[in-house]
Amino acid sequence: ARMTTRQTISLLSLMATTSAIAAGMAVSHSTARSSVAVESGHIASLTERVAFLVSEVEKTPDKDDKEAIVRKAAAIRLLGSLRQTNAIDVLVNQLAFLDTNTGSYPAGAALVGMGEIVVSNALERAVRADPQKDYRLIDGLGYVLFEVLGYQRFDALMQANRERMSKMTFQNLCARV
């Protein structure tokens, strides 16, 4: 079977990245980002692709390892783009992960991009959160819920669930309104 031009370019990119890593060379951020995309793109089964991306997302890179941070951020974005409900909790667990290369929190954007399928999981996680320990998580969940629902629907959801959460959690979720 002949490979398409896109497949050939992807394969060459993967080979170059692998060779550079093996030689101990620094790899550009775009190469690290594209290597995750290429690797996951070669996995035919959606279930196996999600499992691969989850394994990349759950890695804890050293704060000085820029390539590992880029790779993790790329995996988070790709995982969100698949819009699989079984990835929601994994992404919620990564809300506090800061991509220090871009200054962004990719899990929040990934969850917002998934849309309304995240609302139930995000709300339940907020209800269970400990406001003393999980401040960043609650802030991230508030951002996701507000961005997905918009002001009126977010406010209605918060009012309907106010009694299910601590006063501090409610206040933290609603801080951006």
The answer for residues whose C-beta is within 8 angstroms of residue 73's C-beta and 6 or more apart is 33, 97, 99, 101, 102, 104, 106
Tens digits of pLDDT across the chain (177 residues): 555 554 444 444 444 444 444 444 444 556 666 689 889 988 989 999 999 999 999 999 998 999 999 999 999 999 999 999 999 999 999 999 999 989 999 999 999 999 999 999 999 999 999 999 999 999 999 999 999 999 999 999 999 999 999 999 999 999 877
What's the whole-model pTM score? Answer: 0.79
The answer for residues whose C-beta is within 8 angstroms of residue 90's C-beta and 6 or more apart is 54, 57, 58, 79
